[in-house]
Amino acid sequence: MDISGRNKLPGVIKEIKLGEVAAEVVIDSGPHQIVATITRGSVEGMGLKVGDNVTALVKASSVMVMK
């Protein structure tokens, strides 16, 4: 699959917190943790579960850099 997003962060799902409509998906990506809020329907439709290898795609209109 081709996609325009350039920030692709591979990782493993550590935790999924399901709500009625939304879900919080916690991904371990190297030394960092990414927390994504997606629809519950997306979690169920993709069959996401703890331990799955996934890729977080990050596309933002604003990125801050700190030193």
Report pLDDT for 63.
81
Task: Tell me if 10 is assigned to some domain.
Answer: no
SS3 content of the chain, % helix, strand, coil (to 5): 10, 50, 40
Phi then psi for residue 52, to 5 deg, are: -70, 140
Asked if the model's pLDDT at residue 16 lies above 80, the reply is yes
pLDDT digit string (tens) for 21-56? 999 999 999 999 999 999 999 999 999 999 999 999
What residue numbers bound the domain in which 33 lies? 16-58
Count CA atoms within 13 Å of residue 27 on its CB side: 21
Task: Tell me if 67 is assigned to some domain.
Answer: no
Report pLDDT for 32.
95
Report pLDDT for 21.
97
What is the number of domains present in the chain? 1
Specify the pTM.
0.86
29 contacts 56 by C-beta, under 8 angstroms: yes
Tokens of 1: 């699959």
